[in-house]
Amino acid sequence: MVVMKMKFPFQKRVKLAQGLWLLSWCATVAGATTFTLGCLLKTELRRRAEVMANTDIHIVPNTLMIVGLASLGINYFASKICQDALDAGRFPRWKNFLKPYFAVSCFFTVLMLLAIIMSYAMKGSLESSLKAGLRNGIRFYKDTDTPGRCFQKQNIDRLQMEFQCCGNNDFRDWFEIQWISNRYLDFSSTEVKNRIKSNVDGRYLVDGVPFSCCNPSSPRPCIQYRLTNNSAHYNYDYQTEELNIYLRGCREALVNYYMGLMNTIGAGVLSIFLLQGSVLVSLRFLQTAMEAVAGKENTEIETEGYLLEKGVKETVMEYLDPVLTFLLLKNKVEEGTAGETTTAPA
């Protein structure tokens, strides 16, 4: 059953070819934009690699870059096909090329759609990656003399100041780890000794936070130590007063930042996906309309164009059958080789 059949007089075919030529070049620019957006997202993710436990989220920018490059080639050939569609004598040379061309084009267009879906669906993976990465980053904050962790303190401080956040979940995360290096502790001090002895693991824990947690917009000078001790500060109530440090956790701040970035990119790529889909649909109509002219003396006759010659299921199976046949033959060859190896004499 033919899907979406339409009649195309000569003038309509010419206008379709000319309009599609312009549209394909617009899609080429859009493909370059997709690649650029992928590079932008990749760069932003790599900037915070030290606070990410895994790189699963990089599948989104990697897919965008691959699709963007593929889109450049797809739309370049589309423009060439449109040019030759204006000459009935030159168009037949594309006959054997168009079937694999449409298969490859549809694959990368679907891949673009998957990248859009992933950009909205990767929040859980991003959050779990940041949760573990920030936990390690805070734990290694004091290890400025340890190879591989020398810049961890600097990175965490810059992160907290840039995103106006403190800790992983909130500022209390700093209470649970020793973030002051032993080289800066006076072990002859009674207070230091008591704090270390009071902890099972022998760590120096304080109810304080690094300077980078301080909120510069607060009218009160920053209170970063003894945050839970009301008597240590004048006119201060830990339970009721709004602290003059950042209350938002860095995980929340980074998730909001990256999801906002990916959602914006996803919306932009969605419009590019629609443009790419329009190019392929229009090119399919042009192809089928021009194929009806092949072999005719009068090339200005009215022809019919369609989207699919058969139903959707039959068309999909037509493209999948060669792949499935190849895979089955490959499996049979491998099984035969394995059988010969098993029965070979010792």
Q: With helix as H, strand as E and coil as C, how does 73-135 read?
A: HHHHHHHHHHHHHCCCCCHHHHHHHHHHHHHHHHHHHHHHHHHHHHHHHCHHHHHHHHHHHHH
Quote the domain boundaries for residue 297. Answer: 6-137+252-322
Do the domain assignments include residue 272?
yes
Looking only at Cα atoms, what is the longest distance across the chain? 104
- Residue 103 CA: distances (Å) to CA of 99, 239, 253, 295, 315: 6, 64, 42, 26, 11
What gap in Å lies between CA 137 and CA 152, rounded to an integer?
7
As a whole number, mean pLDDT of residues 34-44 equals 92
Q: What is the pLDDT of residues 97-108, one digit of tens each?
A: 888 888 888 899
Cα gap 75→39, rounded to integer Å: 20
Domain match, 175 and 266 both: no
Q: Quick one: 84 and 120 in the same domain?
A: yes
Whether 11 maps to a domain, the answer reads yes
Same structural domain, 96 and 241: no
SS3 track for the chain: CCECCEEECHHHHHHHHHHHHHHHHHHHHHHHHHHHHHHHHHHHHHHCHHHCCCCHHHHHHHHHHHHHHHHHHHHHHHHHHHHHHCCCCCHHHHHHHHHHHHHHHHHHHHHHHHHHHHHHHCHHHHHHHHHHHHHHHHHCCCCCCCCCCCCHHHHHHHHHHHHCCCCCCCHHHHHHCCCCCHHHCCCCCHHHHHHHHCCCCCCCCCCCCCHHHECCCCCCCCCCCCCCCHHHCCCCCCCCCCCCECCCCHHHHHHHHHHHHHHHHHHHHHHHHHHHHHHHHHHHHHHHHHHCCCCCCCCCCCEEECCECCCHHHHHHHHHHHHHHHHHHHHHHHHHHHHHHHHCCC
Which range is least confidently modeled, 118-127, 189-198, 235-244, 278-287?
Answer: 235-244
Mean of the pLDDT values across residues 197-224?
A: 87
What's the pLDDT tens digit per position in 111-150? 999 998 988 888 888 899 999 999 999 999 998 888 878 8
Among residues 180, 215, 247, the one where a domain terminates is: 247
Residues 130 and 226 in one domain: no
pLDDT value, residue 316: 67
Last residue of a domain, one of 196, 228, 247: 247
How far CA 267 is from CA of 63, 143, 259, 315, in Å, comes to: 15, 42, 12, 30
Distance of CA 110 to the CA centre of its chain: 15
The answer as to whether 112 is a domain residue is yes
Using CA atoms, how far apart are residues 271 and 34, in angstroms rounded to an integer? 11
Determine the pLDDT at residue 230: 83
Confidence (pLDDT) at 346 = 46
Residue 85: pLDDT band by 50, 70, 90 thresholds? confident
179/237 same-domain check: yes
- Domain membership flag for residue 328: no
Domain count for the chain: 2
CA atoms within 13 A of residue 345's CA, in its CB half-sphere: 0
196 and 61 share one domain: no
Residue 259 lies in a domain: yes
What pLDDT is recorded for position 333?
56
Identify which of 67, 2, 5 has the alpha carbon closest to the alpha carbon of residue 276. Answer: 67
Question: Rounded mean pLDDT of the chain?
Answer: 84
Residues 195 and 313 in one domain: no
Which segment of 51-55, 289-293, 332-336 scores lowest on mean pLDDT?
332-336
Same domain membership, residue 201 and residue 74: no
pTM for the whole structure: 0.79
Together in a domain, 23 and 80:
yes
Whether 93 and 26 map to the same domain: the answer is yes
Can you tell me the mean pLDDT for 229-253? 83
Do residue 75 and residue 120 come from a single domain?
yes
Query: Is residue 253's pLDDT more than 60?
Result: yes
Q: Across residues 52-78, what is the average pLDDT?
A: 90
Is residue 133 located within the same domain as residue 262?
Answer: yes
